Amino acid sequence: MSWNIDRRTFLRGTAGALLPLPMLNLMQASERSKKQSKPPVRFVTLFKPNGVHPPSWNINGGSEHDFRMSPQMKPFEKHKDDLLILDQMGDFGFSSHASSTRRFLSGHHTNGRSASIDQLIADKIGADTAHRSIELTTEGLFPNQIGCSYISYDRKGNPIPRETDPQLIFDRLFRSPLSDATKRQEMSSLLDRVREDAKSLSLKAGLEDRRTLDEYLSVVRATEKRLDNLNQASLSKVDFSKLKRPDTSVNLNDQVETMLDLIGLALWTDSTRCITYMLGNSNSRMIFDFLGVKEQHHYLSHFFRNSSRHNLEGLLKISLWHMEKFDYLLTKLKSYKDGNGSLLDHCVVLFGSGMGHSDNHTVTRIPVVLAGKGGGMLKTGRYLRYAENQRLGGLHLSLLRGFGIDVDSYAKSSTPLPGLDGSPIKTYKEQPFESWVKVQGKTITVQGRLRMSDNLDESRVFFVDVAGKPPVRVEVGFGDFHHFNLAYHCGTAVTMTGKGSQHDGKTRITKVTELKSVFGKKPGTLNG
């Protein structure tokens, strides 16, 4: 692809706070790209560590077009029209952290000898770009279970090294003498300088010094030769010298946002078309002190084992932060114009985790959200809850085919996941139940679906939805919360009796005395 850039266009456009230079609209500026009917489709993966907290994540009781986004989804609710939220993804049974990481992009945790889909896609779409693919993360390796540290695998199933440093990535993309003309020129004049320096030293040098200087000069000559031999064509058509190099990150938030900025920039400048980014190892023990949370993330993710109001609040803060970063990425991708739409329109963004319930380590209801229209590959603005568990391999097979890769099966899944493009699916059927509320003095009995408050800052607040009436607010102490296991029942139909009050049509329970599941199943067998 060839970009024709008008310097003045640097004054227009949008870019993030960390790369404040006004950017040009590359795609529009190119004569050739006007003729091209379609901009390339890119594939971006954002991995969230430590599963999810299902009571606040799951969507319950919605339908394809009419659904209520869950409290944890609030940060990216504004992108609803660009999302395809998949539910009932996964398998049966228990998942380790390492196997959940492999599963996320490799279809199944036993699929250990093949490439992950990002790499297969990169093979297909990455040939014309300077960088075939880029693999990113935020933290170091976890040698105890090395699989926790990688989602991208090569064709032999070996993990692909990941990079954590935004400056290093920036330099690799935009400051390499191999591709950047300014940098090449700079290196070339430096070589002139040091050669003169070494030669003048050599005049006065003794034998040993001269041998060393000869060795030095031969490296200088070899470097010059290498620069000369580089084809002019290898230089990028875009002048990157105006891009501002990000400053050293001051904390995790800064580091991650800078990296997300770079992801946008790398895709938009067509430096690469395939990027995977892990927000942490799948069992991350990072400490989010900038959010005021002092406990390790993995410890908090076992929210039942380590149950306390304080721990839950910490976990929800971290989870919301992850969702905000997903929002940040989508907003960034939308801000770039690409062809006749936005960059997001020509991306497939896969966001999620390889595990569902972070305390039980379940493989059911794995969080998976697709975003972007993928140049028409995805029909967004929908919520798909499948009738039965869908292996990730089926989703992966669909995506591979969407990117034009002709395969019969992937990770032992030979049926592509239906519905991504709007094709019909078998949807999940809930058992119908009645909802009502009865108030007798201070005793309140309500039947309906229990859910957490949309505002996760008030994690002590729950609601029971009643058809045609305002929801009943449940606001109880930690004793009740723990004893009746409110979080566990979230998303399901319950009959709750308790003490409370009613004012202005608003009903409120402040002490639970009895809680029954409407369908009478034992804890551990219901959704959530």
Partner 1 sequence: MYFARFITAALWLCLWLLDSSALASAPTFEADIKPLVAKYCVKCHSGKKPKGKIDFTKIATAQDAAAQFEVWESAIELLGDDEMPPEDAKQPTKAERAKFKTWYQERLVRSVKAHPGYFKPRRLSATEYRNTLRSLFGFDLEVAVVEAEQTVIEKSLVMKLLPLDPPGKSGFRNDTSGNPLTTVTWDQYAYLTDAALERFFSPSSKKQLEAITGPVVDDSITKSQAKKILRSFLPRIYRRPVPESDLSQAITAVNSADDFVAALKIELKAAMMSPRFIYRGMLMRGKSDVQRPVDDYELAERLSYFVWADMPDAELTQLAAEGKLGDSATLESQIDRMLASAKARSLAEDFAAQWLSLDEVAKNMRNPPQRIAFQSQPIDFMHHLFTANRPLIGLINGRFAFVNRYTQGFYSGDRRQLKPHKKPKGIEVQTVPNQLITLNSTPERGGVLTIPGVLQMNRGPVLRGVWMLERILGDHLPDPPMNVGQVPKNKRGQNLTFRQRFELHRSKATCAICHDKIDPLGFGLAGYDGNGGFAKNRRGPNKIDTAGRLPSGETFENFQELRQILVTSQREKVIRNIVRQMLSYALCRKLKIYDRPTVDKIVEKVNNDKSTYRDLIIEIANCLPFRQTVLRGKKS
Specify whether the CB–CB gap between 116 and 135 falls below 8 A.
no
Which one among 207, 231, 232, 431 touches partner 1, defined by CB under 8 A? 207
Give CA–CA dist 228/258, Å, rounded. 34
Told to check if 295 binds partner 1 by CB under 8 A, we report yes
* Closer Cβ to partner 1, 124 or 210, answer by number: 210
Reduce the secondary structure of 15-69 to three states and give it as a string.
CCCCCCCCCCCHHHHCHHHHHCCCCCCEEEEEECCCCECHHHHCCCCCCCCCCCC
Residue type, 205: A
Structure tokens at 31: 């004569």
Which one among 75, 147, 166, 394 touches partner 1, defined by CB under 8 A? 166
- Cα 322 to chain centroid distance, Å, stands at 8
Told to check if 215 binds partner 1 by CB under 8 A, we report yes
Which one among 5, 181, 194, 439 touches partner 1, defined by CB under 8 A? 194
Which of the ranges 207-215, 344-352, 459-467, 475-483 carries the binding residues for partner 1, by CB under 8 A?
207-215
Task: List the x/- string, 454-493, binding to partner 1 by CB under 8 A.
Answer: ----------------------------------------
Which of the ranges 139-147, 152-160, 392-400, 435-443 carries the binding residues for partner 1, by CB under 8 A?
139-147
Told to check if 50 binds partner 1 by CB under 8 A, we report no
* Closer Cβ to partner 1, 138 or 380, answer by number: 138
The neighbouring-strand residues paired with 48 are: none
Which residues from 70-129 bind partner 1, rule CB under 8 A? Answer: none
* Closer Cβ to partner 1, 308 or 415, answer by number: 308
The neighbouring-strand residues paired with 287 are: 296
Strand order in the sheet with 274-278: 134-136, 274-278, 42-47, 347-352, 368-371, 83-89, 382-390
464: Cβ contacts below 8 Å, ≥ 6 apart: 435, 437, 446, 447, 448, 449, 450, 451, 471, 472, 474, 494, 496
* Closer Cβ to partner 1, 236 or 507, answer by number: 236
Which one among 204, 429, 503, 522 touches partner 1, defined by CB under 8 A? 204
DSSP letter for 274, please.
E
Give CA–CA dist 18/12, Å, rounded. 16
Which of the ranges 57-65, 118-126, 295-303, 350-358 carries the binding residues for partner 1, by CB under 8 A?
295-303
Told to check if 291 binds partner 1 by CB under 8 A, we report no
Told to check if 412 binds partner 1 by CB under 8 A, we report no
Told to check if 198 binds partner 1 by CB under 8 A, we report yes
Could you please report the per-residue DSSP string of 157-217? SPBPP-B--HHHHHHHHH--TTT-HHHHHHHHHHHHHHHHHHHHHHHH--HHHHHHHHHHH
Told to check if 514 binds partner 1 by CB under 8 A, we report no
CA nearest neighbour of 323 among 334, 331, 313, 335: 331
Give CA–CA dist 199/204, Å, rounded. 9
Give CA–CA dist 179/173, Å, rounded. 8
Give CA–CA dist 181/60, Å, rounded. 55
Which of the ranges 25-33, 110-118, 142-150, 431-439 carries the binding residues for partner 1, by CB under 8 A?
142-150
Give CA–CA dist 490/439, Å, rounded. 22
* Closer Cβ to partner 1, 313 or 480, answer by number: 313
* Closer Cβ to partner 1, 317 or 508, answer by number: 317
Told to check if 140 binds partner 1 by CB under 8 A, we report yes
Specify whether the CB–CB gap between 91 and 391 falls below 8 A.
yes
Task: List the x/- string, 231-270, binding to partner 1 by CB under 8 A.
Answer: --------------x-xxxx-x--x---------------
Told to check if 213 binds partner 1 by CB under 8 A, we report yes
* Closer Cβ to partner 1, 257 or 480, answer by number: 257
Told to check if 281 binds partner 1 by CB under 8 A, we report yes
Closest distance between partner 1 and the C-beta of residue 456, in Å?
19
* Closer Cβ to partner 1, 140 or 376, answer by number: 140
Structure tokens at 381: 């603005």
Told to check if 307 binds partner 1 by CB under 8 A, we report no
Give CA–CA dist 501/511, Å, rounded. 10
Closest distance between partner 1 and the C-beta of residue 208, in Å?
5
Give CA–CA dist 85/68, Å, rounded. 11
* Closer Cβ to partner 1, 206 or 432, answer by number: 206
Closest distance between partner 1 and the C-beta of residue 56, in Å?
20
3 state SS of 448:
strand
Which one among 311, 398, 413, 497 touches partner 1, defined by CB under 8 A? 311
Which one among 48, 79, 102, 298 touches partner 1, defined by CB under 8 A? 298
Say how many Å lie between the first and final Cα of the chain, rounded. Answer: 48
Chain residues binding partner 1 by CB under 8 A are: 138-144, 149, 164-168, 171, 175, 186-187, 189-190, 193-194, 197-198, 201, 204-210, 212-213, 215-216, 219-220, 222-223, 226, 245, 247-250, 252, 255, 280-281, 284-287, 294-296, 298-300, 306, 311, 314
